[in-house]
Amino acid sequence: MILLKGKYVRDSIIDSVKDYIDVGIDKIGIVLATDDKSAVIYANSQIKMFRKYGIIVDFFNPDPFVKEVNILNKIDEWNENANVYGIMILAPMYKHIDRTHIVDRIDDIKDIEGIKKINLGKLMIGEEAPCPPTAVAAIEILKFYDITIEGKNVVIAGRSVIVGKPLSMLLLRYNKMGNATVTVCHSKTENINEVIGKADIFFSAIGKPGFFKASTLKNNAIYIDIGINVVKENGETKIVGDILPDELEHLYAYTPVPGGVGAVTNAILLKNYVESKKRANIHCK
Ligand SMILES: NC(=O)c1ccc[n+]([C@@H]2O[C@H](COP(=O)([O-])OP(=O)(O)OC[C@H]3O[C@@H](n4cnc5c(N)ncnc54)[C@H](OP(=O)(O)O)[C@@H]3O)[C@@H](O)[C@H]2O)c1
């Protein structure tokens, strides 16, 4: 049974893109317009990562009374700045801000999270575009460990716009890391354990600690646990996935949490940044 550790995948992705960064010149714009604790943690980890690789972070962290127009003005400023190759908008946002308005304002090429309607549409029709990093990370792990997806019976739990849906589109692409038979489950799916029990590869992104059990999966199945859930156990704070690793011997491979998909997501974000930079430079020529 193979433990699909994310760190090797992360390192190889970063090695393949880091030389494209102009250290101390390239910039990223990040908006954190919330006091949500998970978003703050997520923002800090992104900022640390971009700075580590020499990208200047322009961090816009306005007070709770900020007007939508002030955020839009900031996006316009970044859109016009030729050294800013990526813009990220952390979710959620203060309740009075319409996140759709903000996301829509980002230049299509600078949308490194792949969350603009146009980029999601391009993903749907198979055109080149930035893709939501978590969905890509889940597939990159399998690719790194030489596990092909083509022809497999794949089940995804979760249908969010940033994880489940884009993942389903990637798994339907016409290549060896696609061409899967895809079933997408959600909170209204009946007999869900029966469905996942038939999966060759099971991806979970529901955000519920230990909701599924590894023992439910069939022999030689693979699971990719995308869930990141903070729980308290014996007074200690821990991060666990959606899948309880109650029995692992019968599986072919699985990702740990932490140390699985989460470790790779940031690397894909950096890769998306570099790809946006390449696209922007082609555009200028
Ligand atoms: N590893 C990473 O880098 C990374 C990045 C982003 C997110 N995540 C994690 O991934 C998880 C999902 O994130 P998200 O933003 O996609 O969450 P989300 O927007 O809350 O979506 C959750 C999805 O799970 C479904 N769901 C909820 N309870 C279910 C149940 N009992 N059975 C089946 N489906 C159920 C929901 O169904 P309905 O549509 O019917 O409500 C929904 O489609 C979270 O733990 C998050 O922290 C990880």
CATH of the domain at 244: 3.40.50.720
Residues within a 6 A CB radius of ligand 1: 134, 157-160, 162-164, 185-189, 192, 205-208, 211, 226-229, 261-262, 265
Is the previous residue joined to 166 through a cis bond, with omega within 30 degrees of 0?
no
Closest residue by Cα to atom 19, ligand 1, is: 160
Query: Above 80 in pLDDT, residue 282?
Result: no
- Same domain, residue pair 137 and 223: yes
Ligand 1 centroid to Cα of residue 205, in Å, is 4
* Best residue for ligand 1 mutational test, from 206, 255, 264, 271 (most atoms within 8 Å of Cβ): 206
Task: Let me know: does 171 contact 182? Beta carbons within 8 Å.
Answer: yes
- Same domain, residue pair 182 and 105: no
- Same domain, residue pair 258 and 186: yes
In this prediction, residue 86 carries a pLDDT of 98
What mean pLDDT is predicted for residues 253-259?
97
Predicted model pTM: 0.95
- Same domain, residue pair 89 and 143: no
- Same domain, residue pair 66 and 143: no
- Same domain, residue pair 189 and 98: no
Range of the domain at 149: 133-264
Separation between Cα atoms, residue 86 and residue 113, nearest integer Å: 9
| Of 32, 77, 93, residue with least CA distance to 59 | 32
Structure tokens at 158: 């979760």
Instruction: Provide the CATH number for the domain around residue 89.
Output: 3.40.50.10860
Q: What share of the chain is helix, strand, coil (3-state, %, to 5)?
A: 40, 20, 40
Query: Above 60 in pLDDT, residue 38?
Result: yes
In this prediction, residue 104 carries a pLDDT of 97
Ligand 1 centroid to Cα of residue 208, in Å, is 8
- Same domain, residue pair 159 and 259: yes
What mean pLDDT is predicted for residues 136-165?
97
Q: What's the mean per-residue pLDDT of the chain?
A: 96
- Same domain, residue pair 109 and 147: no
In this prediction, residue 283 carries a pLDDT of 62
- Same domain, residue pair 215 and 167: yes
Q: Looking at the domain assignment, is residue 270 inside a domain?
A: no
Q: How many domains does the chain have?
A: 2
- Same domain, residue pair 75 and 36: yes
